[in-house]
Amino acid sequence: MTLFNISKQNKTLLRAASRRFIEDYLTSVPETKRSAEWIEIPNRYRVECTSTYDTDIGAHPPTVDHNQLIEYVSESAPTHVIDGWSYLGRAIEATLRGDTYAAIHFGYYAELRATMGLLASEGIGVFNGRHPIVRTSGITTRFPTTGTARTHAVVWPILSYWSSLKRASDLIDEIISPRSLRLSQWLIGTGASVPVRAVAQSWLRAWGIDLAAVDDDHDSRNLSSYRPSEFRKPTPLDVHESVAFVEELWRLFEPESSQRFPRLERVLLRSARKKATTAPATVGDLEALGLTAPEAAQWATFLADIQEPMPLQEANNQSQVDDARCHFQILSRAALLLFVATGSVRRLFLNAAYTIDTLSFWWRAMGEARGLWTAGSSPADPLDLWADILVAISDSDDWRSRNPPGSVSLRDWRRADMPERDYLGAFELVGIWGLLT
C-alpha cells in the first residue's frame, strides 16, 4: 500500500471543510435529542456508512442525504475520540500484561481514531475509499474528487496537510492555554520566538508518524497485527519501567474543573519553549503576563526544569517493533493525539452548550459497562474518580520504592495487594473527563 498523494484540487477541497458548520449542527440539535442519543436510529449512514455513501455517490444523480451525512460526521467526532481512549486503555492493559504486540496494535488504532475524531471535528469525514467533506454551505462534497483513497493510505496525508494550515495552529493555540493564557502568549511573553504554527505542525506530524507507515514490512502496526510476535519479540523490560511509564502517563491527565488537563498543557508549553530557546523565562516576563510574584517564581522554576515526563520523551522516538520501548513510543503519541482530538471536540461542545447532564446518557452507561461503577451508583462528578486513579498510581509507586528494580517480576506487581490497580487501564475516564464540559 502506498500513501495517497493529495492534489492541488483536493487540497482546496480540504481547506473548504467547515468546523463552523459542525459547530452549527451541534448547536442546532434540540435538547431532547442531544441528551438521549448520539445519532438518530433511522440515519441512513448509521449502520453501513461507507457502503451507503459509496452507493449514494455513485448513483445518477447522486442520492447523498447531506443532512444525515452531516449528522453522522459531526457525531462521529466525539464517538471516535471515545473509542480512541478505549483503545488506549486496552493498550495500557496489554502493556501491564507484558504483551507489547497487542499494545502496539491497540495503540495504532487509538492514534487512528484520534485522528479521525480530530478531522471530523474539522468537517472532514474519514470513511473508506471516498470521504465526505462538510462545507460551509451545509452541503457535503466527496474527497478525493475522483478515484478512491483508502483509510490507512489517506489519513496521514490529510493530517499532515491539515497540520500545515493556520486553522490547525489556531486550534492548538486554544487547546494549550495554561492558566487561560494561549500558548502563543506564553511563547511571545517569555521570549521564545517560535510561531505556534511551526510548533503545531511539528507536534502533529511527530505524533501522527505511525499513521505514515503503511509499508507491510516496516509498519509496526502491520507487524504487530499480522505477523507472529514470537519471531521478532523484544526482550521484556523490567516491571519498573512498564509500570512507571503508565504511572507517568496517568499523571499527565489529572483533571481540573475548568482547565481540563493543566499538567499536560504545562509540560507541552515547556516543550514548545525548548524548541525555540534555551534562555530561561524570567520572573519579570512572567509577571508581565499577569502572574503574581510567587506564581511567576514557580513558573520560572518549572519552565527551567529539563526533566520531561517519560511519555513526552518517548513520543519523540521511533523504534522497530522488536525494540522493547516501541510500544511506549506509540502509546505516548496516541495519548497526545487523543489529547488534541479531545480538546477539539470539547471546544465544539462548550460552544454548543453541551453539559455534563446533556451527555449523562452516554458517560453514566459507559462507566457502568466498563466496570467503573455499578448500576445506579455513577458519581455526581466523574472528575472525583481521579482520587481512585491517584490511589492506584500511589500504591504502585510505593510498591516500586519497596521493591528495587531487578528484584521483582511483573507477576509480583500483579499479585501485590493493590485493589485499585484495576483502574490503571481505565483510560476511558480521560475521554469522559475531556469531553464533559
- Considering the complex, what minimum distance in angstroms separates the CB of residue 385 from another protein? 5
Buried b (16+ CB within 10 A) or exposed e, 408-430: bebeebeeeebebbebbbbbbbb
First vs last C-alpha separation in the chain: 40
Q: Total number of residues binding another protein (CB under 8 A)?
A: 27
CA pair distance 5, 436, nearest whole angstrom: 37
- Considering the complex, what minimum distance in angstroms separates the CB of residue 225 from another protein? 35
- Considering the complex, what minimum distance in angstroms separates the CB of residue 419 from another protein? 9
Question: From the list 2, 32, 193, 307, which residue makes contact with another protein (rule: CB under 8 A)?
Answer: 307
CA pair distance 96, 388, nearest whole angstrom: 18
Considering only residues 327 to 346 of the shown chain, the ones binding another protein according to CB under 8 A are: none
Q: Does residue number 420 form part of the binding site for another protein (CB under 8 A)? A: yes
- Considering the complex, what minimum distance in angstroms separates the CB of residue 238 from another protein? 17
CB 87 within 8 A of CB 54: no
CB 120 within 8 A of CB 343: no
Q: Does residue number 280 form part of the binding site for another protein (CB under 8 A)? A: no
CA pair distance 309, 240, nearest whole angstrom: 15
Q: Does residue number 298 form part of the binding site for another protein (CB under 8 A)? A: yes
CA pair distance 331, 250, nearest whole angstrom: 12
Question: From the list 221, 266, 346, 421, which residue makes contact with another protein (rule: CB under 8 A)?
Answer: 266
Q: Does residue number 386 form part of the binding site for another protein (CB under 8 A)? A: yes
CA pair distance 284, 361, nearest whole angstrom: 48
CA pair distance 242, 412, nearest whole angstrom: 13
Choose between 77 and 176: whose C-beta lies nearer to another protein: 176
- Considering the complex, what minimum distance in angstroms separates the CB of residue 394 from another protein? 9
Output the nine-digit C-alpha cell for 9: 484540487
Choose between 217 and 305: whose C-beta lies nearer to another protein: 305
- Considering the complex, what minimum distance in angstroms separates the CB of residue 192 from another protein? 18
Q: Does residue number 302 form part of the binding site for another protein (CB under 8 A)? A: yes
What dihedral do alpha carbons 431, 154, 135, 7 form, nearest 10°? 150
Q: Does residue number 403 form part of the binding site for another protein (CB under 8 A)? A: no
Considering only residues 245 to 264 of the shown chain, the ones binding another protein according to CB under 8 A are: 248, 251, 254-258, 262-263
- Considering the complex, what minimum distance in angstroms separates the CB of residue 30 from another protein? 22
Q: Does residue number 400 form part of the binding site for another protein (CB under 8 A)? A: no
Choose between 302 and 361: whose C-beta lies nearer to another protein: 302
CA pair distance 378, 98, nearest whole angstrom: 31
- Angstrom CA distances, 167 to 119, 164, 196, 365, 366, stand at 12, 9, 11, 34, 32
Interacting residues with another protein (CB under 8 A): 248, 251, 254-258, 262-263, 266, 292, 298-299, 302, 305, 307, 379, 381, 383-388, 390-391, 420
